[in-house]
Structure 1
Amino acid sequence: MAVRRLNQQQTQRQSRAPVSDAFEECHIKEESIDTITGKLDQICLTEEMADVFFLFQGENIARIPAHKMILALRSPVFKAMFYGSFPQREGDIWIEDIKLDSFRRLMKYLYTDLLQLNKNSVIPLLYAAKKYQISGLISKCEKYLQDNLAVNNACTLFSHAKFFTMAKLRTNALKYIADNAFDVVKNDDFLMLLSEDLVDILKLDSLCVQEVDVVRAVLKWVDHKLAKSKNKIDGKSRRAILLKDGILFTMAIPLLSFEEFTSVVTPSSILTDEEQLQISKAIKSLNNASACGKFRVRPRKGGRVVEVLIHDIVYPSNNRSCDINSSIINVDCSEILSVKANKRIKIKSVTIKPQFQQPSQNNWNVEVDIKTFTTVHKEIPKTFKMFDFHEEEWRDIKTDEVTLNINYEGRACKLPVDKVILENQKLEFSIKPCLPHRNYNLWGSNRHMIKILPQTYQLVNGMMYEHKLSQQTTLYLSLTGGYLVESFEVVEIC
């Protein structure tokens, strides 16, 4: 009997619980509706008391109900439309320039101030906000766009900012493009630019990118434009588009190296024979770019190439406390040059000029291995429970390798590298001279007098030397072996 009574009581409690929960839910819902926002939300997009309808053409005509007074309170355009000198009193209103989904979002905002923005909805909503002069919505859309500036949308947002006359967003987008130009010009978003917007960007002195990358990006842009319009891609077609709005002359082609000019510009056929000859002469004669007519000759912020001499690294401020030794070593002893930096840089080239003293040899081969290492860290798990700490293991993982075989002809040989090093990366050059097998001595070794780099054991950031490239950029380097590298060229990337 006791067990039966207990079961009956438990059943009664369970049967009463849903009634209590339902009452609480109903009470909470009623409280949220019993506010002006709740009431407006309740009638938003419904025909209850609606006195105007908006029509949208699609597969089927959609009819959106609304309330004139509410719309007029939120928008001066709607106010003039419904309560102005010539109010629209009868008939539905066709909307042809705003999509149905965007208009629904607009109505929801006007009635409740509720807004959910995403990358697909923000621009259509911004257009609607501008059309109906809804200042609060314009501000929210503009803030969303500024907070979401990125490499893959900066050019598009710059174009939108110009179209919608949003000065602050335009300025911020342009600054973002300039600061991140190295990545922006290589992104597909750059290809979507209108010609007049492209000119605005190319006129900037503050672009943090080398001029050859600017030229490559513009040539890719013009080919994309021709392909999209299904026009023939050739020099004549490219030039016709580049002459529009003066795009051609916003590129500092006369500032390119001769190798960059002949490998990038010449094959594109965008120059006349006269321009080709004029610029070619200017590049060869150096410092004569001003004679190249309308072409830009002013360098950009990101185009500054700094040549770093190995001598300046080993002997900073002409400190000769330890001289480079002249020793007899095996000539197959390679030099290893490793480079790190505290920020992103680009190694443009490396100049090899072996400091052999004897015997003199004019022709021999040099093998250069260029490796990129990325520094990663991995947490070491606890081995024994008695230890109450975690250690981290740092190691360099090889991520890329290129081998070059060059013929040294007795003078300085500049190798184009064009490798970007990130903050957590190291670039390593292994240079190995391969001399003809002759002049063997008693021990059967091919030995020559060669300058040897001094050894240092004071490590900075895990490297032998520290070199200030600028106020913002510090290089960390290690050099071992023979004195084979004379200098290398660095470009700072903002």
Structure 2
Amino acid sequence: MASEKVMTGDPIEFATGMKKLLNNKDHSDIKFLIGPNKKVVFAHRCILSARCTVFKAMFSDLSQKNGTADNSSFVLSDMNLDVFLAMLEFLYTNCITLTPKIAIEMLATSLEYGLDDMRKLCCEYLEENLGVQNACDCMQAAVTYGQEELKKSSLTFIEQHTDNVFKSKAFQELSEDALVEIMKSDKLQMDEADILRYIKEWAAVNSAVMKKAVSEVTKHVIQWVRLPILSPQEIEKLEKDNKKDHIIPVDLFSSAWKFHALNQPDPNNALAKKRAGTTPRDHHKNLS
């Protein structure tokens, strides 16, 4: 006697058929009012409930309050229409059409609605489409939403294209936490003097936006600047310049001068280590 076996049909054909139900008023029993303009989107309660626990709970709550969820409306005024339709496409077809414009927002939505497979697809798309203009945005998203693989991929791209990425507008929009993750890297293809210059530009922009002192904006990021790999002449000049903006704490200068005074490797000092793009200096023979 033959054993029971699940035979799988063509998933593309199934997805194509299911997509015809997307935002289709026929037989729909729920509608959403999306965005500030309250654009109407029709949906099917049974499909959304089966595919998403958030929607299942939402409809259950409504049924308990009103006795039925049929023909009810949900207002999602903060939701982007394209993002919502893309999410519905995934729920109906298990496929999703992503674009650079919505991919990061789709990642956030996948986490909000507990759609782990959609999260994976969003991360995969972002990793495959990393570029100079979006690398910082992807790094920011990875840090914000705790996506380690996306963070690794984004950091690798930034390490390989440091100069162009640091020049991008998105670099100025990085959060403190995201910039710290970049500053920890040994593989940045840029000299420390130039890195410090870009950090100061980032700080000036964010100081104006956040209406905070530059020194406050940079207090965590600046700790990762590697002063010991700069020459004594460069450090001396930085000290003079620092009297104006007070970006660099005194203890960082003290540590740098101590390294130069001892004139020997310090394997315990993470800041006394060259990056991949560090310009050679005479004292680098003493670096760990």
TM-score by length of 1: 0.47
5+ residue gaps, structure 1: 1-34, 232-236, 309-488, 490-494
Q: Which amino acid aligns with 1:53?
A: K
Deviation at 1:281, TM superposition (A): 5.2
1:1-40 CA distances to partner (integer Å, 9 max, x unpaired)? xxxxxxxxxxxxxxxxxxxxxxxxxxxxxxxxxx754553
In structure 1, the partner of 2:110 is 129
Identity, % of aligned pairs?
24
Give the alignment partner of residue 120 of structure 1, picking from 85, 90, 101: 101
1:64 aligns with 2:33: no
Q: Which amino acid aligns with 1:96?
A: S
Give the alignment partner of residue 147 of structure 2, picking from 166, 181, 189: 166
Matches within 5 A, 1:71-470: 71-82=48-59, 89-90=68-69, 91-229=72-210, 237-243=213-219, 246-263=220-237, 266-268=240-242, 269=244, 270=246, 278=254, 282=258, 285=261, 287=263, 297-302=271-276, 304-306=278-280
TM-score by length of 2: 0.75
Distance 1:69 1:191 in 2: 45
1:414-473 CA distances to partner (integer Å, 9 max, x unpaired)? xxxxxxxxxxxxxxxxxxxxxxxxxxxxxxxxxxxxxxxxxxxxxxxxxxxxxxxxxxxx
Larger Rg: 1
Give the alignment partner of residue 50 of structure 1, picking from 3, 6, 28: 28
5+ residue gaps, structure 2: 1-12
Deviation at 1:132, TM superposition (A): 2.0
Deviates more, 1:204-213 or 1:120-129: 204-213
RMSD value, Cα: 3.4
In structure 2, the partner of 1:40 is 18
CA distance 1:83–1:218, shift in 2 (3 Å): same
Deviates more, 1:131-140 or 1:219-228: 131-140
CA distance 1:66–1:43, shift in 2 (3 Å): same
1:390-428 CA distances to partner (integer Å, 9 max, x unpaired)? xxxxxxxxxxxxxxxxxxxxxxxxxxxxxxxxxxxxxxx
In structure 2, the partner of 1:408 is none
Distance 2:125 2:190 in 1: 27
Distance 1:134 1:92 in 2: 22
- SS of the residue corresponding to residue 65 of structure 1 reads strand
Q: Which amino acid aligns with 2:218?
A: L
CA distance 1:154–1:129, shift in 2 (3 Å): same
8 Å contact from structure 2 (residues 215, 248) kept in 1: no
In structure 2, the partner of 1:366 is none
Distance 2:251 2:232 in 1: 14
Deviation at 1:82, TM superposition (A): 3.2
Q: Which amino acid aligns with 2:19?
A: D
